[in-house]
Structure 1
Protein backbone atom coordinates (compact mmCIF):
# COMPACT_ATOMS: atom_id res chain seq x y z
CA UNK A 1 0.00 0.00 0.00
CA UNK A 2 1.43 3.36 -1.02
CA UNK A 3 2.25 5.88 1.68
CA UNK A 4 0.99 8.65 -0.59
CA UNK A 5 -2.57 7.46 0.04
CA UNK A 6 -2.11 7.62 3.81
CA UNK A 7 -4.69 9.96 5.34
CA UNK A 8 -4.11 9.41 9.03
CA UNK A 9 -1.85 7.35 11.28
CA UNK A 10 -3.25 6.66 14.73
CA UNK A 11 -1.98 4.77 17.75
CA UNK A 12 -3.19 1.41 16.48
CA UNK A 13 -4.59 1.98 12.98
CA UNK A 14 -3.73 3.61 9.66
CA UNK A 15 -6.30 5.11 7.28
CA UNK A 16 -5.78 5.15 3.51
CA UNK A 17 -7.75 6.69 0.65
CA UNK A 18 -8.87 4.22 -2.02
CA UNK A 19 -8.42 5.81 -5.44
CA UNK A 20 -9.43 3.01 -7.81
CA UNK A 21 -11.37 -0.22 -8.09
CA UNK A 22 -14.64 -1.37 -6.55
CA UNK A 23 -14.23 0.77 -3.45
CA UNK A 24 -12.83 3.92 -5.07
CA UNK A 25 -13.73 6.93 -2.96
CA UNK A 26 -13.95 4.89 0.24
CA UNK A 27 -11.36 4.51 3.00
CA UNK A 28 -9.25 1.49 3.90
CA UNK A 29 -8.77 1.02 7.64
CA UNK A 30 -5.63 -0.98 8.44
CA UNK A 31 -5.41 -2.50 11.91
CA UNK A 32 -1.78 -2.64 13.05
CA UNK A 33 -0.03 -4.56 15.82
CA UNK A 34 0.80 -1.36 17.72
CA UNK A 35 -0.49 -1.39 21.30
CA UNK A 36 -0.92 1.15 24.10
CA UNK A 37 -0.10 0.78 27.78
CA UNK A 38 2.55 1.85 30.26
CA UNK A 39 6.08 0.93 31.27
CA UNK A 40 6.70 -0.93 34.52
CA UNK A 41 10.20 -1.91 35.64
CA UNK A 42 11.47 -1.25 32.13
CA UNK A 43 8.91 -3.51 30.49
CA UNK A 44 5.74 -2.64 28.56
CA UNK A 45 2.43 -3.44 30.20
CA UNK A 46 -0.29 -3.42 27.56
CA UNK A 47 -3.52 -1.76 28.70
CA UNK A 48 -6.14 -0.13 26.40
CA UNK A 49 -6.95 2.35 29.16
CA UNK A 50 -3.69 4.19 28.40
CA UNK A 51 -2.97 6.35 25.35
CA UNK A 52 0.78 5.83 24.80
CA UNK A 53 2.08 3.25 22.33
CA UNK A 54 4.56 1.04 24.20
CA UNK A 55 5.16 -1.76 21.70
CA UNK A 56 3.61 -4.27 19.35
CA UNK A 57 1.67 -7.49 19.87
CA UNK A 58 2.10 -9.87 16.90
CA UNK A 59 -1.25 -10.69 15.29
CA UNK A 60 -3.11 -8.05 17.28
CA UNK A 61 -4.23 -6.12 14.19
CA UNK A 62 -5.89 -9.12 12.57
CA UNK A 63 -7.68 -10.02 15.78
CA UNK A 64 -8.86 -6.44 16.31
CA UNK A 65 -10.26 -6.31 12.77
CA UNK A 66 -12.23 -9.54 13.19
CA UNK A 67 -13.49 -8.38 16.57
CA UNK A 68 -14.57 -4.99 15.17
CA UNK A 69 -16.30 -6.70 12.26
CA UNK A 70 -18.35 -8.78 14.70
CA UNK A 71 -19.55 -5.73 16.59
CA UNK A 72 -20.17 -3.50 13.57
CA UNK A 73 -22.39 -6.21 12.12
CA UNK A 74 -24.15 -6.52 15.48
CA UNK A 75 -24.77 -2.75 15.56
CA UNK A 76 -26.14 -2.86 12.02
CA UNK A 77 -28.61 -5.55 13.06
CA UNK A 78 -29.76 -3.21 15.87
CA UNK A 79 -30.20 -0.23 13.54
CA UNK A 80 -27.17 1.69 14.84
CA UNK A 81 -25.39 3.73 12.12
CA UNK A 82 -21.65 3.38 11.54
CA UNK A 83 -19.07 3.90 8.81
CA UNK A 84 -18.56 0.14 8.29
CA UNK A 85 -18.93 -1.32 4.78
CA UNK A 86 -16.98 -4.58 4.63
CA UNK A 87 -13.88 -6.44 5.83
CA UNK A 88 -11.68 -7.53 2.94
CA UNK A 89 -8.92 -9.47 4.68
CA UNK A 90 -7.64 -10.30 8.13
CA UNK A 91 -6.59 -6.79 9.14
CA UNK A 92 -8.23 -4.44 6.63
CA UNK A 93 -11.69 -2.93 6.62
CA UNK A 94 -13.50 -0.77 4.07
CA UNK A 95 -15.38 2.17 5.57
CA UNK A 96 -17.35 5.19 4.45
CA UNK A 97 -15.28 8.37 4.49
CA UNK A 98 -16.05 10.30 7.65
CA UNK A 99 -14.78 13.50 9.19
CA UNK A 100 -13.79 13.23 12.87
CA UNK A 101 -15.52 15.65 15.22
CA UNK A 102 -13.00 18.47 15.02
CA UNK A 103 -12.46 22.22 14.87
CA UNK A 104 -9.88 24.47 13.24
CA UNK A 105 -7.84 26.85 15.37
CA UNK A 106 -9.64 30.19 15.64
CA UNK A 107 -6.40 32.16 16.06
CA UNK A 108 -3.56 30.26 14.38
CA UNK A 109 -1.41 33.40 14.38
CA UNK A 110 -0.87 32.99 18.13
CA UNK A 111 2.04 30.68 19.04
CA UNK A 112 0.78 27.59 20.79
CA UNK A 113 -2.62 27.62 19.10
CA UNK A 114 -3.68 24.27 17.70
CA UNK A 115 -6.71 22.72 16.04
CA UNK A 116 -8.99 20.14 17.62
CA UNK A 117 -8.18 17.12 15.47
CA UNK A 118 -10.80 14.72 16.80
CA UNK A 119 -12.78 13.69 19.85
CA UNK A 120 -13.10 10.43 21.72
CA UNK A 121 -16.00 9.54 23.99
CA UNK A 122 -15.41 7.31 26.99
CA UNK A 123 -18.24 5.53 28.75
CA UNK A 124 -17.97 3.86 32.11
CA UNK A 125 -20.00 1.18 33.78
CA UNK A 126 -17.78 1.31 36.86
CA UNK A 127 -15.40 3.72 38.59
CA UNK A 128 -11.83 2.65 37.90
CA UNK A 129 -8.89 3.65 35.72
CA UNK A 130 -8.43 7.36 35.05
CA UNK A 131 -11.91 8.10 36.39
CA UNK A 132 -10.98 6.89 39.87
CA UNK A 133 -7.54 8.52 39.66
CA UNK A 134 -9.26 11.86 38.99
CA UNK A 135 -12.02 11.31 41.54
CA UNK A 136 -10.48 9.20 44.33
CA UNK A 137 -13.33 10.08 46.70
CA UNK A 138 -15.49 7.60 44.76
CA UNK A 139 -15.64 3.95 45.84
CA UNK A 140 -13.75 1.77 43.33
CA UNK A 141 -16.06 -0.05 40.91
CA UNK A 142 -19.10 2.02 41.85
CA UNK A 143 -21.87 1.82 39.24
CA UNK A 144 -21.58 4.89 36.99
CA UNK A 145 -24.55 4.07 34.72
CA UNK A 146 -22.48 4.45 31.54
CA UNK A 147 -21.43 8.01 32.28
CA UNK A 148 -20.04 9.62 29.11
CA UNK A 149 -17.00 11.91 28.93
CA UNK A 150 -15.35 13.60 25.94
CA UNK A 151 -11.60 13.78 25.30
CA UNK A 152 -9.54 15.71 22.78
CA UNK A 153 -7.16 13.39 20.95
CA UNK A 154 -3.45 13.97 20.49
CA UNK A 155 -0.11 12.82 21.87
CA UNK A 156 -2.00 12.68 25.17
CA UNK A 157 -5.77 12.72 25.61
CA UNK A 158 -7.27 15.70 27.46
CA UNK A 159 -10.67 15.71 29.14
CA UNK A 160 -13.05 18.41 27.88
CA UNK A 161 -16.42 19.08 29.47
CA UNK A 162 -19.57 18.82 27.38
CA UNK A 163 -20.37 22.43 28.24
CA UNK A 164 -16.95 23.50 26.97
CA UNK A 165 -17.57 21.67 23.69
CA UNK A 166 -20.67 23.79 23.17
CA UNK A 167 -19.18 27.10 24.28
CA UNK A 168 -16.08 26.71 22.09
CA UNK A 169 -18.26 26.01 19.07
CA UNK A 170 -16.78 22.56 18.50
CA UNK A 171 -20.25 21.01 18.68
CA UNK A 172 -23.79 22.29 19.04
CA UNK A 173 -25.94 21.46 22.05
CA UNK A 174 -28.11 19.16 19.91
CA UNK A 175 -25.06 17.40 18.46
CA UNK A 176 -23.68 16.79 21.95
CA UNK A 177 -26.99 15.35 23.16
CA UNK A 178 -27.22 13.12 20.08
CA UNK A 179 -23.63 11.93 20.52
CA UNK A 180 -24.07 11.08 24.21
CA UNK A 181 -27.27 9.17 23.45
CA UNK A 182 -25.56 7.28 20.60
CA UNK A 183 -22.57 6.35 22.77
CA UNK A 184 -24.87 5.07 25.54
CA UNK A 185 -26.92 2.99 23.09
CA UNK A 186 -23.79 1.37 21.68
CA UNK A 187 -22.37 0.87 25.18
CA UNK A 188 -25.56 -0.93 26.20
CA UNK A 189 -25.41 -3.26 23.19
CA UNK A 190 -21.73 -4.04 23.74
CA UNK A 191 -22.25 -4.58 27.48
CA UNK A 192 -25.17 -6.95 26.88
CA UNK A 193 -23.12 -8.93 24.36
CA UNK A 194 -20.38 -9.47 26.94
CA UNK A 195 -22.89 -10.27 29.68
CA UNK A 196 -24.24 -13.06 27.47
CA UNK A 197 -20.71 -14.54 27.61
CA UNK A 198 -20.50 -14.23 31.43
CA UNK A 199 -18.15 -11.25 31.20
CA UNK A 200 -18.57 -7.63 32.27
CA UNK A 201 -17.41 -4.50 30.47
CA UNK A 202 -15.84 -2.05 32.92
CA UNK A 203 -15.50 0.81 30.46
CA UNK A 204 -14.84 1.61 26.84
CA UNK A 205 -14.20 4.39 24.37
CA UNK A 206 -15.64 5.21 20.96
CA UNK A 207 -14.88 7.77 18.29
CA UNK A 208 -17.67 9.50 16.40
CA UNK A 209 -17.57 11.37 13.14
CA UNK A 210 -19.68 12.99 10.46
CA UNK A 211 -20.16 11.04 7.23
CA UNK A 212 -18.31 12.96 4.53
CA UNK A 213 -21.08 12.58 1.97
CA UNK A 214 -24.84 12.97 2.28
CA UNK A 215 -26.29 14.81 5.26
CA UNK A 216 -23.17 14.57 7.43
CA UNK A 217 -24.83 12.27 9.93
CA UNK A 218 -22.89 11.62 13.14
CA UNK A 219 -22.04 7.91 13.42
CA UNK A 220 -19.58 5.68 15.24
CA UNK A 221 -16.30 5.47 13.33
CA UNK A 222 -12.87 3.97 13.92
CA UNK A 223 -13.36 0.65 15.73
CA UNK A 224 -14.89 -1.48 18.44
CA UNK A 225 -12.03 -3.74 19.41
CA UNK A 226 -10.04 -5.07 22.37
CA UNK A 227 -8.09 -1.79 22.15
CA UNK A 228 -11.09 0.20 23.36
CA UNK A 229 -12.64 -2.04 26.04
CA UNK A 230 -11.73 -3.12 29.55
CA UNK A 231 -13.42 -6.33 30.63
CA UNK A 232 -13.55 -8.33 33.86
CA UNK A 233 -14.83 -11.65 35.15
CA UNK A 234 -16.59 -12.42 38.40
CA UNK A 235 -18.64 -9.22 38.43
CA UNK A 236 -21.14 -9.44 41.30
CA UNK A 237 -23.37 -6.35 41.52
CA UNK A 238 -25.64 -5.43 44.41
CA UNK A 239 -29.14 -4.00 43.92
CA UNK A 240 -27.61 -0.63 42.99
CA UNK A 241 -25.24 -2.11 40.43
CA UNK A 242 -22.12 -1.59 42.56
CA UNK A 243 -19.65 -4.46 42.45
CA UNK A 244 -19.64 -6.36 45.75
CA UNK A 245 -16.23 -8.01 45.30
CA UNK A 246 -14.20 -4.85 44.73
CA UNK A 247 -12.39 -5.33 48.05
CA UNK A 248 -10.91 -8.58 46.75
CA UNK A 249 -10.36 -7.35 43.19
CA UNK A 250 -9.12 -3.76 43.40
CA UNK A 251 -5.54 -2.75 44.18
CA UNK A 252 -4.71 0.94 44.63
CA UNK A 253 -1.54 2.81 45.50
CA UNK A 254 -0.49 6.39 46.16
CA UNK A 255 3.16 7.37 45.84
CA UNK A 256 4.88 10.69 45.19
CA UNK A 257 1.63 12.33 44.17
CA UNK A 258 0.60 9.60 41.74
CA UNK A 259 -2.41 7.31 42.15
CA UNK A 260 -2.71 3.91 40.54
CA UNK A 261 -5.55 1.44 40.44
CA UNK A 262 -5.59 -2.11 39.11
CA UNK A 263 -8.29 -4.75 38.92
CA UNK A 264 -7.15 -8.32 39.54
CA UNK A 265 -10.24 -9.71 37.80
CA UNK A 266 -9.62 -7.73 34.63
CA UNK A 267 -9.50 -10.08 31.66
CA UNK A 268 -6.75 -9.68 29.09
CA UNK A 269 -7.83 -9.07 25.52
CA UNK A 270 -6.38 -12.41 24.43
CA UNK A 271 -8.66 -14.21 26.89
CA UNK A 272 -11.96 -12.63 25.87
CA UNK A 273 -11.24 -12.47 22.15
CA UNK A 274 -11.51 -16.23 21.75
CA UNK A 275 -15.04 -16.15 23.13
CA UNK A 276 -16.20 -14.05 20.18
CA UNK A 277 -13.86 -15.28 17.47
Structure 2
Protein backbone atom coordinates (compact mmCIF):
# COMPACT_ATOMS: atom_id res chain seq x y z
CA UNK A 1 0.00 0.00 0.00
CA UNK A 2 1.33 3.47 -0.79
CA UNK A 3 2.43 5.76 2.06
CA UNK A 4 0.63 8.86 0.78
CA UNK A 5 -3.05 9.36 -0.15
CA UNK A 6 -4.01 8.60 -3.75
CA UNK A 7 -7.06 10.06 -5.45
CA UNK A 8 -9.97 7.61 -5.92
CA UNK A 9 -9.61 5.57 -9.09
CA UNK A 10 -5.90 6.34 -9.47
CA UNK A 11 -3.87 3.11 -9.58
CA UNK A 12 -0.52 2.74 -7.86
CA UNK A 13 1.86 0.39 -9.69
CA UNK A 14 4.78 -1.32 -8.02
CA UNK A 15 7.25 -3.86 -9.37
CA UNK A 16 5.01 -6.87 -8.78
CA UNK A 17 1.53 -5.50 -8.11
CA UNK A 18 -0.97 -2.81 -9.09
CA UNK A 19 -3.14 -1.28 -6.35
CA UNK A 20 -6.39 0.47 -7.16
CA UNK A 21 -9.00 2.00 -4.85
CA UNK A 22 -12.41 0.36 -5.27
CA UNK A 23 -15.83 1.98 -5.10
CA UNK A 24 -16.03 0.87 -1.46
CA UNK A 25 -14.33 3.38 0.86
CA UNK A 26 -11.28 1.94 2.56
CA UNK A 27 -11.05 -1.07 0.26
CA UNK A 28 -8.37 -1.47 -2.39
CA UNK A 29 -7.84 -4.05 -5.10
CA UNK A 30 -4.42 -5.63 -5.64
CA UNK A 31 -3.62 -7.05 -9.06
CA UNK A 32 -0.66 -9.44 -8.99
CA UNK A 33 1.55 -9.21 -12.09
CA UNK A 34 3.67 -11.87 -13.77
CA UNK A 35 6.57 -9.40 -13.86
CA UNK A 36 9.64 -10.47 -11.89
CA UNK A 37 12.51 -8.35 -10.60
CA UNK A 38 15.62 -9.07 -8.55
CA UNK A 39 18.63 -7.23 -7.14
CA UNK A 40 16.65 -4.01 -6.59
CA UNK A 41 15.08 -4.27 -10.09
CA UNK A 42 18.46 -4.54 -11.83
CA UNK A 43 17.27 -7.87 -13.23
CA UNK A 44 13.84 -8.01 -14.85
CA UNK A 45 11.79 -10.74 -16.46
CA UNK A 46 8.48 -12.55 -16.40
CA UNK A 47 7.38 -15.71 -14.64
CA UNK A 48 4.32 -17.12 -16.40
CA UNK A 49 1.40 -17.59 -14.04
CA UNK A 50 3.22 -15.97 -11.13
CA UNK A 51 0.47 -13.43 -10.50
CA UNK A 52 -2.23 -16.05 -10.06
CA UNK A 53 0.02 -18.32 -7.99
CA UNK A 54 1.24 -15.59 -5.64
CA UNK A 55 -2.24 -14.15 -5.19
CA UNK A 56 -3.69 -17.55 -4.34
CA UNK A 57 -0.87 -18.51 -1.97
CA UNK A 58 -1.06 -15.11 -0.25
CA UNK A 59 -4.84 -15.33 0.09
CA UNK A 60 -4.55 -18.78 1.63
CA UNK A 61 -1.77 -17.81 4.05
CA UNK A 62 -3.46 -14.56 5.11
CA UNK A 63 -6.58 -16.52 6.01
CA UNK A 64 -4.48 -19.09 7.86
CA UNK A 65 -2.75 -16.34 9.87
CA UNK A 66 -6.08 -14.65 10.61
CA UNK A 67 -7.20 -17.92 12.20
CA UNK A 68 -4.06 -17.80 14.36
CA UNK A 69 -5.00 -14.33 15.62
CA UNK A 70 -2.73 -12.28 13.31
CA UNK A 71 -4.57 -9.25 11.84
CA UNK A 72 -4.05 -8.88 8.08
CA UNK A 73 -5.26 -6.51 5.40
CA UNK A 74 -6.91 -9.36 3.43
CA UNK A 75 -10.62 -9.09 2.63
CA UNK A 76 -11.22 -11.61 -0.15
CA UNK A 77 -9.79 -13.01 -3.37
CA UNK A 78 -11.88 -11.70 -6.24
CA UNK A 79 -10.08 -13.38 -9.17
CA UNK A 80 -7.13 -15.76 -9.63
CA UNK A 81 -4.75 -12.79 -9.66
CA UNK A 82 -6.73 -10.19 -7.67
CA UNK A 83 -7.62 -9.65 -4.04
CA UNK A 84 -9.36 -6.92 -2.08
CA UNK A 85 -7.65 -5.53 1.01
CA UNK A 86 -8.18 -2.90 3.69
CA UNK A 87 -6.41 0.39 3.00
CA UNK A 88 -3.55 1.05 5.41
CA UNK A 89 -0.87 3.62 6.05
CA UNK A 90 2.31 1.66 5.43
CA UNK A 91 5.55 1.63 7.35
CA UNK A 92 8.49 2.40 5.05
CA UNK A 93 10.07 -0.77 6.38
CA UNK A 94 10.69 -4.34 5.34
CA UNK A 95 10.82 -6.74 8.27
CA UNK A 96 12.95 -9.77 7.44
CA UNK A 97 12.90 -12.94 9.53
CA UNK A 98 15.76 -15.41 9.07
CA UNK A 99 15.63 -19.01 10.29
CA UNK A 100 18.73 -20.12 8.38
CA UNK A 101 21.63 -18.20 6.89
CA UNK A 102 21.15 -17.40 3.20
CA UNK A 103 21.30 -14.54 0.72
CA UNK A 104 22.71 -11.23 1.92
CA UNK A 105 23.35 -12.58 5.42
CA UNK A 106 25.89 -15.04 4.01
CA UNK A 107 27.42 -12.48 1.65
CA UNK A 108 27.84 -9.86 4.36
CA UNK A 109 28.93 -12.05 7.29
CA UNK A 110 30.57 -15.13 5.78
CA UNK A 111 28.16 -17.44 7.61
CA UNK A 112 27.75 -20.78 5.81
CA UNK A 113 24.64 -21.25 3.69
CA UNK A 114 21.91 -23.05 5.57
CA UNK A 115 23.29 -22.49 9.06
CA UNK A 116 20.38 -22.71 11.49
CA UNK A 117 19.86 -19.51 13.47
CA UNK A 118 18.67 -19.92 17.03
CA UNK A 119 16.81 -17.83 17.87
CA UNK A 120 15.63 -16.63 14.45
CA UNK A 121 16.98 -13.24 13.39
CA UNK A 122 14.58 -10.30 12.91
CA UNK A 123 15.96 -7.42 10.83
CA UNK A 124 14.60 -4.08 9.64
CA UNK A 125 15.35 -2.62 6.21
CA UNK A 126 14.52 0.86 4.94
CA UNK A 127 12.04 0.44 2.08
CA UNK A 128 13.68 2.88 -0.33
CA UNK A 129 14.63 1.74 -3.85
CA UNK A 130 16.87 4.75 -4.45
CA UNK A 131 19.00 3.77 -1.45
CA UNK A 132 18.92 0.04 -2.18
CA UNK A 133 16.70 -0.88 0.81
CA UNK A 134 19.54 -0.68 3.37
CA UNK A 135 19.71 -2.65 6.61
CA UNK A 136 18.93 -0.41 9.58
CA UNK A 137 20.58 -0.46 12.97
CA UNK A 138 18.33 0.38 15.93
CA UNK A 139 19.94 3.83 16.13
CA UNK A 140 19.34 4.51 12.42
CA UNK A 141 15.78 3.28 12.72
CA UNK A 142 15.25 5.74 15.56
CA UNK A 143 17.06 8.55 13.71
CA UNK A 144 14.87 8.17 10.62
CA UNK A 145 11.73 8.11 12.77
CA UNK A 146 10.21 5.33 10.65
CA UNK A 147 8.39 3.83 13.64
CA UNK A 148 7.99 4.58 17.32
CA UNK A 149 9.80 2.38 19.86
CA UNK A 150 6.47 0.78 20.75
CA UNK A 151 5.72 0.10 17.08
CA UNK A 152 9.16 -1.43 16.59
CA UNK A 153 8.49 -3.74 19.53
CA UNK A 154 5.06 -4.63 18.10
CA UNK A 155 6.52 -5.30 14.64
CA UNK A 156 9.23 -7.51 16.13
CA UNK A 157 6.78 -9.51 18.23
CA UNK A 158 4.34 -9.91 15.34
CA UNK A 159 7.15 -11.03 13.00
CA UNK A 160 8.23 -13.64 15.55
CA UNK A 161 4.67 -14.90 15.97
CA UNK A 162 4.10 -15.05 12.21
CA UNK A 163 7.37 -16.91 11.79
CA UNK A 164 6.31 -19.55 14.29
CA UNK A 165 2.99 -20.10 12.54
CA UNK A 166 4.48 -20.16 9.03
CA UNK A 167 7.36 -22.47 9.97
CA UNK A 168 4.87 -25.02 11.26
CA UNK A 169 2.59 -24.53 8.25
CA UNK A 170 5.36 -25.02 5.69
CA UNK A 171 6.84 -27.95 7.64
CA UNK A 172 3.52 -29.72 7.18
CA UNK A 173 3.93 -29.02 3.45
CA UNK A 174 7.39 -30.63 3.41
CA UNK A 175 9.05 -27.22 2.97
CA UNK A 176 11.63 -25.37 5.06
CA UNK A 177 11.02 -21.64 5.58
CA UNK A 178 14.57 -20.29 5.33
CA UNK A 179 13.77 -16.57 5.53
CA UNK A 180 11.07 -14.16 4.42
CA UNK A 181 10.07 -10.51 4.13
CA UNK A 182 7.04 -8.92 5.74
CA UNK A 183 5.44 -5.51 5.33
CA UNK A 184 3.07 -3.86 7.77
CA UNK A 185 0.81 -0.85 8.00
CA UNK A 186 -1.62 0.64 10.47
CA UNK A 187 -5.31 1.43 10.24
CA UNK A 188 -7.29 4.47 11.40
CA UNK A 189 -7.32 3.08 14.94
CA UNK A 190 -3.54 2.75 15.04
CA UNK A 191 -3.62 -1.05 14.96
CA UNK A 192 -0.59 -2.63 13.28
CA UNK A 193 -1.71 -4.91 10.43
CA UNK A 194 0.16 -7.41 8.25
CA UNK A 195 0.02 -6.38 4.57
CA UNK A 196 1.61 -6.93 1.14
CA UNK A 197 1.97 -10.64 0.26
CA UNK A 198 3.45 -13.95 1.43
CA UNK A 199 4.63 -15.99 -1.53
CA UNK A 200 7.67 -17.55 -3.23
CA UNK A 201 8.52 -13.97 -4.22
CA UNK A 202 8.92 -12.90 -0.59
CA UNK A 203 9.96 -16.18 1.06
CA UNK A 204 13.07 -18.29 0.64
CA UNK A 205 11.80 -21.89 0.56
CA UNK A 206 13.67 -25.21 0.39
CA UNK A 207 12.26 -28.69 -0.02
CA UNK A 208 12.69 -30.61 3.22
CA UNK A 209 14.90 -33.67 2.86
CA UNK A 210 16.40 -32.53 -0.46
CA UNK A 211 20.19 -32.27 -0.17
CA UNK A 212 20.91 -31.00 -3.68
CA UNK A 213 21.50 -27.23 -3.31
CA UNK A 214 19.79 -26.48 -6.64
CA UNK A 215 16.91 -28.93 -6.61
CA UNK A 216 15.79 -27.94 -3.12
CA UNK A 217 15.11 -24.30 -4.09
CA UNK A 218 11.43 -23.51 -4.75
CA UNK A 219 11.37 -19.70 -4.58
CA UNK A 220 12.48 -16.61 -6.50
CA UNK A 221 16.12 -17.60 -6.10
CA UNK A 222 15.52 -19.80 -9.15
CA UNK A 223 14.90 -16.59 -11.10
CA UNK A 224 17.59 -14.56 -9.35
CA UNK A 225 20.33 -17.06 -10.08
CA UNK A 226 19.10 -18.53 -13.39
CA UNK A 227 18.51 -21.99 -11.92
CA UNK A 228 15.67 -22.78 -14.35
CA UNK A 229 12.33 -24.38 -13.55
CA UNK A 230 10.93 -21.22 -11.98
CA UNK A 231 7.29 -21.77 -12.98
CA UNK A 232 7.29 -25.41 -11.86
CA UNK A 233 8.81 -24.46 -8.49
CA UNK A 234 6.10 -21.85 -7.85
CA UNK A 235 3.44 -24.34 -8.92
CA UNK A 236 4.82 -26.96 -6.53
CA UNK A 237 4.58 -24.52 -3.62
CA UNK A 238 0.99 -23.63 -4.58
CA UNK A 239 -0.05 -27.29 -4.73
CA UNK A 240 1.46 -28.10 -1.36
CA UNK A 241 0.01 -25.01 0.31
CA UNK A 242 -3.48 -25.78 -0.97
CA UNK A 243 -3.20 -29.47 0.01
CA UNK A 244 -2.14 -28.70 3.57
- State the TM-score, normalized to the length of structure 2: 0.82
- Matched residue, 1:266: 217
Give the 3-state SS of the residue equivalent to 1:226 in structure 2: coil
- Matched residue, 1:85: 75
How much does 1:4 deviate? 7.4
- Matched residue, 1:194: 170
> Is contact 1:120-1:205 (8 Å) kept?
yes
> Is contact 1:231-1:266 (8 Å) kept?
yes
Give the 3-state SS of the residue equivalent to 1:225 in structure 2: coil
The 1-side partners of 2:144 and 2:217 are apart by 37
How much does 1:158 deviate? 1.5
How much does 1:235 deviate? 4.9
Give the 3-state SS of the residue equivalent to 1:158 in structure 2: coil
How much does 1:209 deviate? 0.8
> Is contact 1:122-1:205 (8 Å) kept?
yes
- State the TM-score, normalized to the length of structure 1: 0.73
Alignment partner of 1:35 is 2:39: no
Q: Name whichever structure is richer in helix by fraction.
A: 2
- Matched residue, 2:47: 57
Partner deviation per Cα, 1:28-48 (whole Å, 9 max, x = no partner): 1111111123xxxxxxxxxxx
Q: How many residues align?
A: 218
In structure 2, relative to structure 1, the CA distance for the partners of 1:172 and 1:4 (3 Å cut) is closer
Alignment partner of 1:276 is 2:241: yes
Alignment partner of 1:148 is 2:122: yes
- Matched residue, 1:112: none
> Is contact 1:123-1:148 (8 Å) kept?
yes
RMSD between aligned residues: 2.0
| Structure 2: stretches of 5+ with no match in the other structure | 1-6, 219-232
In structure 2, relative to structure 1, the CA distance for the partners of 1:57 and 1:207 (3 Å cut) is same
Task: Find runs of 4+ consecutive structure 1 residues off by over 3 angstroms.
Answer: none
How much does 1:152 deviate? 1.6
Find the partner of 1:206 among 182, 191, 197.
182
How much does 1:146 deviate? 2.3
In structure 2, relative to structure 1, the CA distance for the partners of 1:7 and 1:168 (3 Å cut) is same
- Matched residue, 1:8: 12
- Matched residue, 2:223: none
> Is contact 2:73-2:86 (8 Å) kept?
yes
- Matched residue, 1:256: none
- Matched residue, 1:157: 133
How much does 1:264 deviate? 5.1
The 2-side partners of 1:226 and 1:194 are apart by 12
Q: Name whichever structure is richer in strand by fraction.
A: 1
